[in-house]
Amino acid sequence: MTEFKRSDITLSNWRTAPFSKWAFENVSEIVPSAVIAAKVKAAEPPLDLSGLGDLNVTGIDGTSQPLTAFLAESETDELVVMRQGRIIAEWSAGHSDPALPHIIFSVSKSLTALLAGILVGKGLLSFGKRVVDYVPEAAGSAYADATVQQLFDMEISVDFVEDYLDTSGGFDRYRRATGWNPDRPDIPAPDLKSFICSIGKGGWNHGEKHAYRSPNTDLAGIVVERAASGRLAKLLSDHLWQPMGAGSNAMITVDRIGTARAAGGMSATARDLALVGELVRKQGAGLIPQSFIDDLWTGGSREAWKNGDQATLFPDGSYRNYWYETGAGELAAIGIHGQWIWVDPASQTVIVKLSSQTLPVDAERDQAIVGMLRQVSRAV
């Protein structure tokens, strides 16, 4: 921390530059967090970019540049490239420690969905049921007449705006309910579940369009907990993290009464996230039902996607169970501030990119990152 001291980092600024460079690998010091336990193995020495060290990729400005320059320009903290289940290249920024769990924001949604798929395979959860079958408290909210599948596909009609830079409106109140922002004594926020169950319905019908709203996944986390009679961190550990052989503990933030932030609160190492991507590439590898993984590759409703608010990201794609189906043969899990899991079966490649990008969302940069991921996949 050459630019600042630990005491400079607060609940008000931890997601902003330059403090995010440290905070994104130390979230549990700032927001209460629960452990997603692994059967911790001895740390493996980091690799380097190996044969990718000389690779040129297309930069954000459209010109060719070395991969290392692109990684620095796109504020990357960690990059891991896995081929046929083996890590073949790795890169870390000077300020980053690959052994520390890095916050993955909305990639958390994708991991929550994989857990849900496992529970479906065990007969504990049904996507065909209504949300209120698991969370009766949601009656009277936007979710009262929604199915669990609509919840996992972001096809819920809600009166809520996903505005990451909001400082005084509904998204700020949501962030305060999660424990991510300091509360306001004049208008205190409720706990997370109470906040979600207060959201009203939007001006369209469920299923008509893809409407990316993070409270949906926080509610999905509660659905999963109710279905399997356990807390989310323990369920993730027992059903996903330990069985897949994760090498390090992960973390997930919790609100004031212990409700997990399934929508964006997980932290994990890039190497363990590569194992997650490899599970998807290998059609569940016997841990996740193959039918669930096949459904991810088939994708969700393309009509809902084209009517939605993220269609420009992958114009020929779709969204299914919190994973992006690109329309060009890949799957992606994506989080704000530059978090990615990229699965390319054609080249048998999984790539993880963890970042501390200054802006939560940068559409132009996202397109450049997609291009880089495809170039790296082809190169390896």
What residues are annotated to the active site? 106
Complete edge-to-edge strand list for the sheet that includes strand 266-268? 33-36, 250-253, 266-268, 102-103
For the chain, the distance separating the N- and C-terminal CA atoms, rounded to the nearest angstrom, is 34
Q: What percentage of the chain's residues is helix, strand, coil (to nearest 5)?
A: 35, 15, 50
Distance separating alpha carbons of residues 156 and 152, to the nearest angstrom: 9
Euclidean distance between CA atoms 372 and 168, whole angstroms: 36
Q: At what angle do helices 215-228 and 107-121 cross, to 10 degrees?
A: 30
Please give the Cα distance from 87 to 46 (Å, whole number): 10
Is the alpha carbon torsion for 140, 143, 148, 150 positive or negative? positive
Distance CA 304, CA 292 (A): 20
Instruction: Give me the sign of the Cα torsion angle 353, 338, 195, 184.
Output: positive
How many of the other CB atoms lie within 10 Å of CB of 89?
22
- Which helix H or strand E contains 376, and what residues bound it? helix 363-379
Give the Cα separation of 341 and 360 in Å (integer). Answer: 17
Per this entry, what is the length of the chain? 380
State how far the Cα of 56 lies from the Cα of 238, in Å rounded to an integer: 41
Token pair listed for 148: 């669990």
